[in-house]
A and B are shown apart, each in its own frame.
Chain A
């Protein structure tokens, strides 16, 4: 009786495990806006062959193993591959100083984040920012790529280069829009406090009185000497109005530019039932085999 109960409990645990896997894999939350955005903008270059495959499917194997294909985007269970039409130039392994971009912009960070998510770390080589020409270095941590840990690879990966090119385009657009906004609503350059504003001298860094710049009512006229001015209420309102106006110009410009840059959207699909069932069945079968072995070991004890 006790043995039967134990058997039932073990079977129950196995079913729970399989159900957990199935539920986790299948009943998943929809991809976030950022993932979808990355997926959408990562279309293949003109003339390139596009393949969408699921990580669970056999048909992914050729693309993963063929260097002609590069990963353009990864969204949950799907990976979009593009077949590179260009031959890869030789990659000078181990050469060059590999450093993080000393001053990554927001979009560069987005790119880094994306590659972190896809288990690839991207390092930008210190040098010219022209993404189309600069050699990027990529450290492939994935063992299935047949590469060893700890080596940095010259990223003549069209996916990376294209993504960086995209980031650079956005960076340029962002900078241009920022300049446009500054030109439309210029910031006042103050070397002394404006009439009515109260001069404030800040003390030591840690004296607790120096958080002025965090408060919009203060502005710095010499941050090295920690000289601030406290605006009058009218000045403060005016400054906020100008800031809002500038931001409005900037956002409008950037939205228009981004709309021009954004490639067409692509379909987003989820993992089919049969793959989930196959995965769960596989997990269940292996777990069952393990339980049987454990049972035999116990019996022979």
Chain B
């Protein structure tokens, strides 16, 4: 099962980085960390499938355009999901966590790959 294992390892990395960034930004309570995990569970499989789909074109213009677009979409989606799960948190707070965590996980993922 190459694909699920690949996804699982990528998901673990993303989750680890995002949880660390979330904790650094004050999202330390278990339910807040759980919300980050759940939001990732929603966004990550789709992101992974779409990103993997264009992995063969790595380094090409299409990929360089596509990856930031995908990451941006994921950040917006996660912001909305986090706000939904954590209504007491403000939009700027959840947006900051989402954007920074996604950026960090993207950098971590790419640095591991390349």
- Contact surface of A with B, Cβ cutoff 8 Å: 14, 17-18, 20-21, 24-25, 28, 35, 55-58, 60-61, 64, 74-76, 113, 116-119, 121, 141-144, 149, 279, 282-283, 286-287, 289-291, 293-294, 297-298, 300-301
Contact = CB atoms under 8 A, between A and B. Distances in A.
A286 B2 contact: no
Nearest to A17: B46
B1 A119 contact: no
A117 B58 contact: yes
A21 B112 contact: no
Interface of B: 1-6, 9, 31, 34-35, 37-46, 49-50, 52-53, 55-60, 81, 84-88, 111-114
B84 A294 contact: yes
A143 B44 CA distance: 18
Contacts of A61: 1-2
A108 B55 CA distance: 22
B1 A58 contact: yes
Nearest to B1: A58
Given A117-B57, A294-B85, A58 B112 contact: no
Give the 5 A-B CB pairs with smallest separation, nearest first.
Answer: A290-B41, A290-B42, A293-B38, A294-B85, A283-B45
Contacts of B46: 17-18, 20-21, 283, 287
A301 B41 contact: no
A301 B86 contact: yes
Q: Which of B1, B42, B43, B60 has the most CB of A within 10 A?
A: B42
Nearest to A29: B62
27 contacts: A18-B46, A21-B50, A24-B53, A55-B52, A58-B1, A61-B1, A75-B56, A116-B58, A118-B58, A121-B114, A142-B113, A143-B9, A143-B113, A149-B114, A283-B45, A283-B46, A283-B49, A286-B45, A287-B46, A290-B38, A290-B41, A290-B43, A293-B34, A293-B37, A294-B38, A294-B84, A301-B86
